Amino acid sequence: MDRLKHIAIIGANREGLNLLPILLQDRTLKISMIADSNKNALLFKLDELGYKLADQLFIRTTSNLDDIKSIENLDIIINASDDTCAQDFLQQPEFRNIEKLSPLSAKLVWGLKVEKLNLKDQGADSRAMLLTSLREVVDAIRLTSDRKELLSLILRLAIESTNAEKGSLMLLSKDGKYLTVEIAEGMEEEIVRKIKVPLGEGIAGRVAHDGNPLLVSGKASEEEFRLMKERSDVKSALCVPLIINKAVIGVINVNSTESTHTFTQDDLSFLIRLASLASEVILRSKEYEEMRWNTVKFTVWKEIDRTLGLNKPLEKRLAEVCGKLSQFIEGLGCSIFIFNDDTQMLHLKASTMTDTKTLGSFAVRTGEGIDGWVANTGKGVILTDKDHVIDEPRKAYIALPIISDDRVVGIISGQLVSAKGLLPYQESFLREIVNPLAEAIQNYQKQEKQFLKSNKIIAVDETGLELISIRDPEKLSNIVATAAAAIIGADGSTLRLRHDGTSKYQLRAARGLDDEKIRASFLPAEKDILQEVVKTKKAVIKDFPKETSPLVVSLLSHPIKREDKVIGVLTLFNKILSGAFYPERFNKTDIEILERFVIYVERALLNIMLREEEKIKTQELLDSILIGKEFLEKRAEEEISRAKRFGKKFVVVIIHIPSLATYKEQDKGKKLIIKVLDSIKKKVRNFDVVAKLNDERLAGLFLESDEGAIRIISKLCNAVEGGSLFDKNILKEEIGIRYGYALFPDDGDTFDALLKKATPKVEVLVGGQG
């Protein structure tokens, strides 16, 4: 005699407890336990329904669901509870191989079994009644998520109604190449797990291939059915296809090992109708699963979309997305990488498998490994178990590109270990979710680039204003080299300026070249790029393979021009990014920033050059105009002789500036002299003469003029008196400017007499700021 089947009931509601009279009639069953999380409620309900558990039934009651685990040889759990905690409880590994039924299914199985015996005694057709009742069950729970329970019920009814001993429901694999067992009765579990029937082989394979039901009486022919293994114990069998939308998705098998038992055409017809119901259950469960998961996907999609729209740093948003995906897909370890244009690498930004803050910077090169290949090709990769081992979790590796504007901006990478593996709807969701991720990453990168660019432009403008104010050429060169490297983010820099009158560019300042090995690697490369910049008059980026040139991987060189001629070259090497361990390459944005910086450098250099040129011109002017008393006396004697012969007149003017000698060696003193002389010169003619008598006196010889000279002196005096001639900031104290003049021949006919007559007598006071 077969052992009793032990049953536990969870939930003490009316529907569950109403099963007790039916279950107790079946002598093959033993109700071992009734469990409810509220023990008082359980006892109250039993009393309300009029049920009294006799001691001789040995049915335990408990409020602790974990007590169910102590039942030895537990076969069936009937879950009549609406509590989701009970559903979660039954998902524990201890109950993996225990059959789980709803109260409705249990009533159908054992209620119809009793009714079948009654109908048989009355000679009625129990199969018609069974099919009608089963149809009612299927219609009543068409939206159930547990199709396995219904399929188990259908298979059990098929076995019992045809008096078979064993049976199985098999489904085609995704690729349609073989059948695997979904539900089995009367077969050892270890054997069930190993069964894999190729399409077209064996009885089940033949039915699945042809789509026609089979009734086999007697031992099946190995040659006819290409049996994989001879089954001497099977004496007769029924096998019918499961068909959905005219396509075979699997088969139902029942068989008997008794030589005296043979199946009939009525059995086959009944099994065909049961198979139709089974196909309907599978179809409806698929539709329900699709609808349910679409709802779940929509909810998760909305949560992720909301998360990506939050005003948080991108890393935090992506971390939340990884967390939500791991919750949505059981057993998923999720990571998100972002592609960096500067490094040309994938940088880990978020992960549920590691603490990215503790890990620091982690990057993958494009083209290396699965993730790198996906980033390089833009094609997704999903790897799953080729041959799944029973009792082991299913495993998958996922790497999907995140693409925006036909460009890979990142990848979503995942490692999955779970009992169910990666389900189709989960895979489709991952492929869909990369779209909002792509948009969020692209927006972030645009904003980040603009932010960094704006900050660098601000730094350039602030530094540029400082550069323009610098007067010292050496100081300017040092700040240019240092600031350029700091703003762009370079390891080092050099500034070269063209030596006057040559084509050589001398090194004026350098940063980051203290190491001899770096100099040995940088200088030859700098020489080549300098020649290219001078030739093209444009900025140049030159990159080197990191494998052959690890110390210098990238150069950015920009011309410094004046009047479209290259007067200098500013070169940077090795871009350094925040958080990166190795130098990277420069890009177009770096050129734009450096171009703006060089504009200020050119202005600053121009200011210094103009000052130097002004000094040279000033000295030349002093040298040419301040020719001295000897020249003036000689020129005056010549003019006296000529004036006497032709009866002409001329004027001698003397301007006396006290304390001028104190300032003669200073820039301010020179400027004062130049300003006075320039003012005089503008008011004289080309053939007039201005000379320096001593450190404090200037003299002018105005030829062939009397009245005209008087007008010039008058204007000069007005300029002095009006303050337009002298800059009061030049002198530190108030001084008096004196002047006088003499007319030839009225005031004397010799140079000495004219000088004596022109001795300055009129004084104009000029106040300083001291």
Question: d(Cα 577, Cα 292) in Å, to the nearest integer?
Answer: 47
Contacts 24+ apart (CB under 8 A), 1-6: 2/28, 3/73, 4/28, 4/29, 4/30, 5/29, 5/30, 5/75, 5/76, 6/30, 6/32, 6/71, 6/72, 6/73, 6/74, 6/75, 6/76
Shared-domain flag, residues 665 and 757: yes
Shared-domain flag, residues 263 and 404: no
pLDDT digits (tens, 9 = 90+) for 319-349: 999 999 998 888 999 999 999 887 788 889 9
pLDDT digits (tens, 9 = 90+) for 409-458: 999 999 999 988 888 888 888 998 888 888 888 888 888 888 888 889 99
- CB neighbours of residue 258 within 10 Å: 11
Mean pLDDT, the chain, rounded, equals 80
| pLDDT class of 741 with cuts at 50, 70, 90 | confident
Lowest mean pLDDT among 175-179, 566-570, 691-695: 691-695
Within-domain flag for 19: no
- Evaluate if residue 762 carries a pLDDT over 80: no
Q: What is the DSSP letter of 66?
A: G
Q: Of 581, 608, 635, which marks where a domain is finished?
A: 608
Q: Is the dihedral of CA 124, 125, 126, 131 positive or negative?
A: negative
Q: In which element (H, E) is residue 384 found?
A: strand 381-384
Within-domain flag for 397: yes
**CA nearest neighbour of 742 among 700, 687, 685:** 700
Shared-domain flag, residues 304 and 157: yes
Q: What mean pLDDT do residues 166-176 have?
A: 87
Q: Of 290, 308, 326, which marks where a domain is finished?
A: 308
C-alpha dihedral (227, 229, 230, 234), degrees to nearest 10: -90
Q: CATH code at 582? A: 3.30.450.40
**CA nearest neighbour of 47 among 87, 14, 80:** 14
| pLDDT class of 620 with cuts at 50, 70, 90 | low
pLDDT for 238: 93
Within-domain flag for 568: yes
Q: What mean pLDDT do residues 566-594 have?
A: 86
pLDDT digits (tens, 9 = 90+) for 469-502: 998 889 999 999 999 999 999 999 999 998 877 7
Question: d(Cα 145, Cα 285) in Å, to the nearest integer?
Answer: 6
Q: Of 259, 276, 308, which marks where a domain is finished?
A: 308
Q: CATH code at 735? A: 3.30.70.270
Within-domain flag for 159: yes
Shared-domain flag, residues 304 and 370: no
Residue with tokens 């109708």, as numbered in its chain: 273
Within-domain flag for 366: yes
Shared-domain flag, residues 319 and 243: no
Q: Please give the model's pTM, rounded to 2 decimal places.
A: 0.54
* Domain region containing 570: 470-608
- Evaluate if residue 122 carries a pLDDT over 60: no
**CA nearest neighbour of 224 among 210, 241, 203:** 203
Q: CB–CB of 10/80 below 8 Å?
A: yes
Q: Token digits for 285? A: 């469960």
Shared-domain flag, residues 718 and 741: yes
Q: CB–CB of 147/183 below 8 Å?
A: no
Q: What is the DSSP letter of 498?
A: E
Within-domain flag for 337: yes
Question: CB within 8 A of 485, min separation 6: which ones?
Answer: 491, 492, 493, 511, 512, 572
Q: How many domains does the chain have?
A: 4
Shared-domain flag, residues 201 and 235: yes
Q: How many residues make up the chain in this entry?
A: 770
| pLDDT class of 379 with cuts at 50, 70, 90 | very high
Question: d(Cα 400, Cα 361) in Å, to the nearest integer?
Answer: 21
**CA nearest neighbour of 460 among 606, 595, 584:** 595
Q: Identify the residue with better confidence: 219 or 477.
A: 477
List the Cα angle 563/569/572 in 5-degree steps.
145
- CB neighbours of residue 474 within 10 Å: 10
Q: CB–CB of 11/36 below 8 Å?
A: yes
Q: CB–CB of 690/698 below 8 Å?
A: yes
Within-domain flag for 665: yes
Question: d(Cα 628, Cα 698) in Å, to the nearest integer?
Answer: 9
Within-domain flag for 142: no
Q: Is the dihedral of CA 37, 39, 43, 44 positive or negative?
A: negative
Q: Token digits for 758? A: 């022109």
Query: Which burial class, exposed, middle or buried, applies to 450 when counting CB atoms under 10 A from its CB (0-12, 13-18, 19+)?
Result: exposed
